[in-house]
Structure 1
Amino acid sequence: MACAGCDFNLPKVSAKAQALESKQSVRRLLETVPLTADEQEIVKGDLKKLDGLIRKLENVPTLDGRTPGAIATQQVGAMARPDADTVDANRVSHQALCDADRKE
């Protein structure tokens, strides 16, 4: 069995949540428990190994085949460029409000 920090370790997709939880726990240990300098170095090494494990899982495809990076890129692109239907709907609703104000 390989440890989390080994390069040849291939973690399961389900390991990401556990790795994030472990990272939080290790950080809490580092902040709250008085440790010697050697112990602090060991804990910091564990954090680096957990970061490496989490990095390995960053671009694992989701069920629909897209990676988290691709999903984030699509969301940023969608926010930057509204589609034509949305623009037309906003224009129509704005025009309806203007017409209603003129009738009053």
Structure 2
Amino acid sequence: MKLKTLVLSLLAAGVLAGCSSQTSMMANNMKSEKIIIAHRGASGYLPEHTLESKALAFGQQADYLEQDLAMTKDGRLIIIHDHFLDGLTDVAKNSQTVTVKTAVIM
């Protein structure tokens, strides 16, 4: 009975030791891999936050996209870097959309 317990204990220890080294080996491999995060897509090549820029970033093997999110006054999330639209659009010059400028982003 004692011999059986000893053999099973050694067998279990061997199995657990093998799992432990395999897990640490996988962790070491994961640490050496580099992760590429595209800032607003491929913003150095195309206008940022555009679908084309995001597609190019993935084409250049980016692992993730970093997006700038802002919440509108009505509680919707939008992807935009600037908190004011006048730097990106002609909203300040167009009298029909001036109310949109003040209402879009908090």
| TM-score normalised by the chain length of structure 1 | 0.29
| TM-score normalised by the chain length of structure 2 | 0.28
Higher RCO by CA contacts (8 Å cutoff, separation 6 or greater): 1
User: Which of 1 and 2 has greater Rg?
Assistant: 2
Structure that is richer in strand per residue: 2
